[in-house]
Amino acid sequence: MEHERRSYGQYCGLAGALDVIGERWTLLIIRELLIGPCRYNELLANLPGIGTNLLAARLKYLAKDGLIEVVPPDQNSKIKRYRLTDEGEALREPVLGMARWGLGRLDAPEVEEAVRPRWAMLAVEAMIDERRAADLDESYEFDIDGEVFHVEARYGKVKVIPGPANQPVLTAQTDARTFVDIGAGRMDPLEATLTKRLVMEGDIEAILRCCRLLGLAPG
């Protein structure tokens, strides 16, 4: 006995979007997949509080609606993974926009708040202002609690990529909590550096260019 899905029943783009991605947990699943393809149990681990039945149901709907697809297990690893389709990937911009909006409003984390280094990667992507990258041709490497990724700025186009950079002009090492604090505007990079919670290595000018790209410094 299948039940029909709840719908707003409005002939409007936003209502149509929310019919698909408006239910609880759905956009957070999209967030995880925006960072990269995931296995079922990875999603479960990075979405503390979601019921396993609910995750399964959401994945089923998202696949039926064409936002995600299953990467079948290949020869070496017999593990099924989920990944965004182009249609799902097209949500990146608006979702990052919402993340940027929410980042600026974040309060200090309560005791029970979950913190994951991978979310810092999305925070970086949300903070980037590509208009400030017109003259850049370099990359910055981040190590957040051991999770390593880098930002590649190439003449106006900026990408955030998992893994270490080739020849970064800057490496930054910190913990997820501190990084999100900085992104939320509640801690200054200077303060984090002075208290040794943030350690940056590289040319001073490169550090400033990186901070400007992330909206952490004027200019």
Partner DNA sequence: CTGCATCCGCCTCGATACTG
Partner DNA sequence: CAGTATCGAGGCGGATGCAG
Nearest to 128 by CA among 186, 200, 215: 215
Cβ distance to DNA smaller for residue 84 or 192: 84
At residue 208, the 3 state secondary structure works out as helix
- Binder of residue 99, out of a second copy, DNA, none (CB less than 5 to 8 A by kind): a second copy
210/140 Cα distance (integer angstroms) = 7
- Pairwise CA distance, residues 142 & 60, whole Å: 34
Nearest-approach distance from CB 174 to a second copy, in angstroms: 14
Contact set for DNA, span 6-45 (CB under 7 A): 6, 23-25, 39-42
In the set 51, 73, 94, 162, which binds a second copy (CB under 8 A)?
A: 94
Could you say which of DNA, a second copy, none residue 56 binds, taking C-beta under 5 to 8 angstroms by partner kind?
A: DNA
Residue 124's contacts (CB-CB under 8 Å, 6 or more residues apart) are 142, 149, 151, 160, 183, 214
Residues in 129-168 at the binding interface with a second copy, rule: CB under 8 A: none
Torsion angle of the four alpha carbons 64, 66, 67, 72, in this order, in degrees rounded to the nearest 10: 80
Q: Decide if residue 60 touches DNA (CB under 7 A).
A: yes
Which of DNA, a second copy, none has residue 79 at its interface (CB below 5 to 8 Å by kind)? DNA
Q: Check residue 131 for interaction with DNA (CB under 7 A).
A: no
CA distance 193 to 175: 12
For 46, half-sphere exposure in the C-beta direction (CA atoms, 13 angstrom radius) is: 20
- Draw the binding track, 74-93, toward DNA (x: CB under 7 A; -: no contact): -----xxx------------
The CA dihedral of 42, 47, 52, 58, to the nearest 10 degrees, is -100
d(CA 169, CA 32): 28
Return the residue of 14, 17, 57, 199 that touches DNA, per CB under 7 A. Answer: 57
Chain residues binding DNA by CB under 7 A are 3, 5-6, 23-25, 39-42, 49-54, 56-57, 59-60, 79-81
Chain residues binding a second copy by CB under 8 A are 8-18, 20-22, 24, 27-28, 31, 48-49, 87, 90-91, 93-95, 97-106, 109-110, 112-116, 119, 122-123, 126, 176-177, 180, 183-184
